[in-house]
Amino acid sequence: MKLEGRVALVTGGGRGLGREIALTFAREGADVALAATDAAALEATAGDIRALGRRALAMVTDVADEAAVGRLAQAARAQLGPVDVLVNNAGIAGPTARVDQVTLADWDRTLAVNVTGAFLCAKAVLPQMAERRRGKIVNIASVAGHIGYALRSPYAVSKWGMIGLTLTLAQEWGAHHIQVNAISPGPVSGERIERVIRDRAAGTGRSLADTEHEYLSKLAIPRFVDPAHVAATALFLASSDSDSVTGEVIRVSSGYGLS
């Protein structure tokens, strides 16, 4: 039980990677606050956490809204206790288009959710962590934060920004015994990558099969990433096993882009 007695806050916790991470944490003893914009998905995940014998809080929250994030942090502390672990997982794919075809509204929204949201959530919980001189922040970045990513400029920029935020927070808060790290997943199996492939196929006029092959051909291990492997890495970074690890970006990517 690596997280016994700990309180975790997982954004984007209703489905996909966020759900997998939240349930993994609960199995390891954590009580979990969940934030996302889909109320039904949040409640389903919260119900599964409670079935594991842990406490859960589900709050519909737009992480790009500072007031909403403040309410989330206050509610988590009041109902579960001070936040020990923050997982900044909330994110959107953004548009699939060349830069000259990306609207300012789409650009702004992608960066607002993907990187400003992480900044606001960290800002909201860091004082709680500093009070107790302990804390873990795990930012879910992407291999898109290490490469150029044609037709996905807002998403790539947001993930480069997430990595920069990670390294900066690690420097700022290390003296308070707070560790800040990031995970850069490659294409993760599930609804998100299926949607990305559909959008990319539509945007390029290529077939779904050819577009899927484009992604698979860049993997050293010829399969999409298992969400459970990302969650296991998040568990390591959230637990005391990583107390000497900070400012690191761990790729869980099936070797995306190595060749």
Give catalytic residue positions.
155
- Helix, strand, or coil (residue 86): strand
d(CA 129, CA 83): 7
Give φ, ψ of 231 to 5 degrees: -65, -40
Residues 6+ apart with CB under 8 A from 219: 186, 187, 253, 254, 255, 256
Alpha helix ranges (H) inside the chain: 16-27, 39-51, 66-79, 104-111, 117-132, 153-173, 191-204, 208-216, 227-238
177: number of Cβ within 10 Å? 14
d(CA 35, CA 87): 10
CA 225, 229, 232 angle in degrees (round to 5)? 160
Considering only CA atoms, which of 85, 55, 122 is closest in space to residue 231?
85
Instruction: Specify burial of residue 145 (Cβ count, 10 A radius: 0-12, 13-18, 19+).
Output: buried
